[in-house]
Amino acid sequence: MTLKSKILGTGSALPKKIITNDDLSKVVDTTDEWISSRTGIRERRIALDGKTSELAARAAKEAIKAAGLSAKDIDLVITGTVTPDMAFPSTSCFVQLELGLRAGIPAFDLSAACSGFLYALDVADNFIRSKSAKNVLVIGVDLFSKIVDWKDRSTCVLFGDGAGAVVLGATKSKAGILSSKLFSDGRKWELLYSPQDKNRTPFEDVKSKAKSAKNSKDSTSDSTLKMKGNEIFKLAVRSMGSAVSEALKEARLKPSDISLLIPHQANNRIIKAMQQRLKLSDAQVFSNIEKYGNTSAASIPIALDEAVKSGRVKRGNNLILVAFGGGLTWASTVIKW
């Protein structure tokens, strides 16, 4: 039987601080009614003092324990994130340090915004199937509270912070990842982006030091997240729909074979549109957007962890995970549990 990879354990971590829609209505011109009816979100978690690597390590520790493994068993770490503590070292290296994983194993981050976890899962799957790794720690973590514009009501109400993780291990059983599809389209990057670093080199500062102080104004830029919500909405429904069809086709399954759809938690209306398209019942679709908002790369692994812990995932079930985010990027994975 061919070698596959299988999820051995899941974990998640969320900051303690809850920000409700009513809390936000005191900061920007919005209402609980607008946010919940347009998105399904009622509250989100914010890491006031916490770091990305701390949340990631908490989720990862739980996943390793759930897998029945210990730190020494992990031989690769991949973290999907676009909000690392630092440009470098990577979040994965900080997790390696925090959890006392073996020194010398490969550890790196992967940037695919909200699709980051499924991209990382696919890379991990390839490492396992090519026998380059046996037990891989795959993490999705983002702290969008650090990059949204808290004065922009059209974006700040949508996001929250969190982390989710799985341990992926080699298996020869029938269960495991059956298919995985990754996509991107850089032509549409301006629909959703976070500039963060200024588009200039500090070398310019050296050159301009002799110039007058008014030139220093040129170096300021707005570094917060930008999104054209309407266009992203339509593309998300279309792209995730076709990604699901392609992954199911490769796994030789039909929509009626799906036990549980775990979609990226960006907007309940997007999730409902996918549910209708695939003709799934409420019981076949997982949603926790109400509690956490859009946690970017963390949204799918947090949802998966909750689905597993609440008993909604049973041995032999076919799960489909599907994501969409900045890049643009989108991805889908079919798993037999």
Catalytic residue among 135, 288, 294, 318: 294
Beta carbon nearer to ligand ACO, 134 or 188: 188
Closer to ligand ACO by Cβ: residue 5 or 39: 39
State the Cα–Cα distance between residues 160 and 20, nearest whole angstrom: 11
The CA distances from residue 302 to 57, 63, 135, 216, 285, in Å, are: 14, 11, 20, 43, 14
Tell me which H or E stretch contains 78: strand 76-80
CB within 8 Å of 277: residues ≥ 6 apart: 237, 241
**C-alpha–C-alpha distance, residues 107 and 240, integer Å:** 29
**Catalytic residue status for 264:** yes
Residue of minimal Cβ distance to ligand ACO: 325
Which residues form the interface with ligand ACO (CB under 6 A)? 30, 34-35, 38-39, 113-114, 153-154, 157-158, 192, 229-230, 232-233, 236, 266-267, 270, 294, 296, 324-326
Nearer to ligand ACO, 91 or 135 (CB): 91
Among residues 5 and 333, whose Cβ is nearest to ligand ACO? 333
Q: Torsion angle of alpha carbons 174, 5, 324, 287, nearest 10°?
A: 60
**């970017």: which residue's tokens?**
296
Shortest Å, Cβ 337 to ligand ACO? 26
Shortest spacing between CB 331 and ligand ACO, in angstroms: 12
Is 294 a catalytic site residue?
yes
* Least CB distance to ligand ACO at residue 279 (A): 22
156 is catalytic: no
Tell me which of 264, 267, 268, 318 is the catalytic residue: 264
* Nearest C-alpha neighbor of 44 from the set 22, 12, 11: 22
Min. distance of Cβ 325 from ligand ACO in angstroms?
A: 3
Task: Report phi then psi at 303, rounded to 5.
Answer: -60, -40
Which amino acids are annotated catalytic? 114, 264, 294
